[in-house]
Amino acid sequence: MARMTAARAAVEILKREGVTDAFGVPGAAINPFYKALKEGGGIHHTLARHVEGASHMAEGYTRTSPGNIGVCIGTSGPAGTDMITGLYSAIGDSIPILCITGQAPTSVIHKEDFQAVDIASIAKPVTKMAVTVLEAAQVPGVFQQAFHLMRSGRPGPVLIDLPIDVQLTEIEFDPETYEPLPVYKPAATRAQIEKAITFLLESQRPVIVAGGGVIGADATDLLVEFAELTQTPVIPTLMGWGTLPDDHELNAGMVGVQTSHRYGNANFLESDFVLGIGNRWANRHTGYKLDVYRGERKFVHVDIEPTQIGKIFPPDYGVVSDAKAALELFVEVAKELKAAGRLPDRGEWVASTQERKATLLRRTHFDNVPLKPQRVYEEMNKAFGPETRYVTTIGLSQIAGAQMLHVYKPRHWINCGQAGPLGWTIPAAIGVAKADPDAQVVALSGDYDFQFLIEELAVAAQHRIPYVHVLVNNSYLGLIRQAQLGLDINFQVNLEFENVNSPEIGVYGVDHVKVAEGLGCKAIRVTEPEQLGAAFEQAKKLAAEYRVPVVVEAILERITNISMSRTMDISDISEFEDLATEPGHAPTSIKPLKV
């Protein structure tokens, strides 16, 4: 046994749980923990500029690294409340991150002390556990339980709040004999998988909906093997994008009311059976018209969280299981059925899905000036290869990107799915690049997302964390403007102004190039489509040479409506024709084309 502060014991546990990186901002109430972090060694700390940014860095880190958990650290009071958005984002997408906050001394927590807030109560709805540790001797057990909870069942975040006197109190702790608690993951039985497969065998036009749980369980190889054995087309969800390559013959496209492919929706609507694995039937996937989504199809739902089964609609059969455990049995049973000659030939059905995939495509090649966003994504596909890790959050940029970019591997589409907070992209990209320093990391933002936590660019510049950031700038809250079409308004979504310091950028207002350069990064502005390819190549070279983020700002036409459903119905997608900007930036007339 060794005598050490509770803070030092916590740091030793972090290391033995596999933590190698942390992101945060020190402060008076968490300084004892930072002292332990410094003296303990073994954990690299990246200093954020905003504590919310630190939480998103931890998210990006975890989403990139199988089995590795991102850690974010802040002081008492507003540091914890700043990280709530990151915790919400993490729990919505089943991402384990550990948030550690400082706290006022135990004797004054409830006396309205400076920066003393009941952060555990605030964080409880968006964590698997949120606790203020009042006894120093409990610190090792609380941290041990935190990692057990984050990894067990449906993964998710935990917040541990440490009063400063608790951090400083010495306890007896032996790091050498510390062992992580066993991780619990429910596993399907053979009988359950055999029953689930009977639905598949009875169907004529089956599809697999592969969710983020497949990626989280590192089960993508198993999913591809099962799909190939049974000749079943796969529809990845937004969080499951990358479960199999976009160019795989069984990839039937994404489904939904926003981040979907024309051929994906068309393929799904032709199906008669759906096997959902590791997905939660999110409304951007199903739409609100569940009668359309369900139709006459039969559904089997496999998910690690028991309360997810039947939460959105009752499946015909539900299985509570970790995706990897279930898919191991799915493959085993499918191999036996194939050997016995009991698997039906799905060649005609597969061919029909690929015919739709080849023909129901959205136009991307435009020569317009200002740029159409579709052309930006076309050029990104040419410039950035299959090894690229894309990072993005929300907005028309993300929706169009999901419709037009290509992803070929798991954890190569790093996206905040449920929460969608603006500002997420820059810090998340830093976390991704930190987790995989050798990767080609490409972030994608609209101008408003880019501006929310823009100061975090300085973090990457300071710590020499390079990546390429594609900024599509229309000086609009584009998604909200498009949503306001249904209300016949265009109100408080226009970001244009004449910048007296940068008259050359006209009504686009913010000079992102100057701001990025002022924060220690490199930046390139593109105004014509022919410049895009060269700009992306230059950005890759600059990032490699200077080891800082390189921003490529594409000046877009002010108004472009992106394909999506205005009725939240996957059978009713408005495919907008080529639109021209009208004087006054009023909503343009639209001609919806039905899928």
Q: List active site positions.
A: 25, 51, 422, 477, 480
What is the β-pairing status of strands 2-5 and 170-173? antiparallel
What is the rounded CA–CA span in Å between residue 286 and residue 281? Answer: 6
What is the rounded CA–CA span in Å between residue 570 and residue 258? Answer: 9
What is the rounded CA–CA span in Å between residue 354 and residue 443? Answer: 29
Closest CA to 549 of 540, 562, 537: 540
Rounded alpha-carbon distances, angstroms, from residue 284 to 77, 281, 316, 510, 564? 35, 8, 22, 31, 10
DSSP state of 562: P
What is the β-pairing status of strands 298-303 and 273-277? parallel
Run of H or E residues at 47: strand 44-47
Largest Cα separation within the chain, whole Å, is 76
What is the β-pairing status of strands 389-392 and 317-320? unpaired
Strand partners, 414: 391
Closest CA to 504 of 551, 553, 471: 553
Instruction: Give DSSP secondary structure letters for 363-416.
Output: ------SSBPHHHHHHHHHHHS-TT-EEEE-SSHHHHHHHHH----STTSEEE-
Rounded alpha-carbon distances, angstroms, from residue 205 to 7, 202, 213, 296, 388? 57, 10, 24, 12, 33
What is the rounded CA–CA span in Å between residue 500 and residue 504? Answer: 9
What is the rounded CA–CA span in Å between residue 114 and residue 452? Answer: 27
Backbone angles phi, psi at 292, to 5 degrees: -70, -45
| Beta carbons of 475 and 557 less than 8 angstroms apart | no
Closest CA to 109 of 135, 139, 86, 76: 76
Rounded alpha-carbon distances, angstroms, from residue 57 to 18, 63, 285, 401, 468? 17, 10, 26, 21, 16
| Beta carbons of 40 and 11 less than 8 angstroms apart | yes
Backbone angles phi, psi at 40, to 5 degrees: -75, -30
| Beta carbons of 388 and 224 less than 8 angstroms apart | no
| Beta carbons of 250 and 232 less than 8 angstroms apart | yes
What is the rounded CA–CA span in Å between residue 435 and residue 150? Answer: 19
